Structure 1
Amino acid sequence: MRFCTLLITGLCVLGGFGITGFTENRLADDPKQEKWKAPAWADTLKNQYPTEPLTLAQGEELFQEFCSSCHGEAGYGDGAAGRALGAKPANFHDPEVVKQTDGALFWKLSNGRGNMPPFKEVFSDEQRWQLVAYVRKLTTPKTNTK
């Protein structure tokens, strides 16, 4: 597993991989690229794991190690490796991303497209759901507790 971590991280940093992401960003040199939509059945996929503090912490750890280089530490699509790609990685705060179902995000994370590598063979189902849960946490408006 550690070898996979190093390999994927290295490829992201070198620009070989990146995470084009979960939105309708198009390649700068290909305005005809279609929007990336998950199949309709993906909307029926449901997280079978509880969203609790440990789930979110594990999702954050995975996100920071594997996703932040392209998507940025806060998920705005502004990571250093992402800037080297032909298409901007997804901004998870974009309303087009926020309105997608958890199942659609899970499907995209699992299958990849373009610069977004498929993570089905890299992460377990539980880890991919942890990432979806963490992405949702990133985009949840902060409430003032004062």
Structure 2
Amino acid sequence: MHLFRRYPVGLLILGLIGIMGFTHNLKTDDPKPERWKAPVWADTLKSHFPTEPLTLAQGEELFMEYCSSCHGETGFGDGAAGRSLGSKPANFHDPEVTKQTDGALFWKLSNGRGNMPPFKDVFSEEQRWQLVAFLRKLNTTKTDTK
């Protein structure tokens, strides 16, 4: 209590700065974050692997193990771990995502950004294409929206 009597203005200023910093992080009316765009050349990337039931099953297995904690089991960006991140994980049902080329999705998966790690050193090229194939299937089989 002795500090309050001796430095009341300084403590008040420190308290206000702390509150301002805390409430700044709670703002919900911020504009949408800048869209993540792959380089134009990424659109030319094409899978050399067949898309067949096994490919989709392997992609789903990878997604559930490595991606669903942030992106959610149905790909709406609502995974438990994703809720604690500063930026919301991609919703794979969002038209801004679904209109991207397979090559752009492959590039993003390979290189990562922000909270999403790059997977080019984690997954083989084939596994990354399996994930892209599964994301495409996810868009056609999960019709409910959030």
TM superposition score category, shorter chain reference: 0.7 to 0.9
Partner of 2:136: 136
Q: For 1:77-116, what aligned pairs fall within 5 Å after superposition?
A: 77-116=77-116
Q: For 1:1-146, what aligned pairs fall within 5 Å after superposition?
A: 33-141=33-141
| Greater Cα radius of gyration, structure 1 or 2 | 2
Distance (whole Å) between structure 1 residues aligned to residue 41 and residue 50 of structure 2:
22
- Percent of counterpart pairs with the same letter? 83
Distance (whole Å) between structure 2 residues aligned to residue 58 and residue 92 of structure 1:
18
Distance (whole Å) between structure 1 residues aligned to residue 119 and residue 97 of structure 2:
19
- Aligned residues between the structures: 116
Partner of 1:17: none
**Aligned-CA RMSD value:** 2.0
Alpha carbons of 1:30 and 1:124: their partners in 2 closer, same or farther (altered >3 Å)?
Answer: farther
User: Which stretches in structure 2 are left out of the alignment for 5+ residues?
Assistant: 1-27
SS of equivalent to 1:107: helix
Between structures 1 and 2, the one with greater helix share: 2
Per mean C-alpha deviation after superposition, the further-off stretch among 133-142 and 109-118 is 133-142
Distance (whole Å) between structure 2 residues aligned to residue 67 and residue 141 of structure 1:
18
TM-score by length of 2: 0.75
Q: Which has the higher contact order (CA 8 A, sep 6+)?
A: 1
User: Which stretches in structure 1 are left out of the alignment for 5+ residues?
Assistant: 1-27
TM-score by length of 1: 0.75
Per mean C-alpha deviation after superposition, the further-off stretch among 53-62 and 34-43 is 34-43
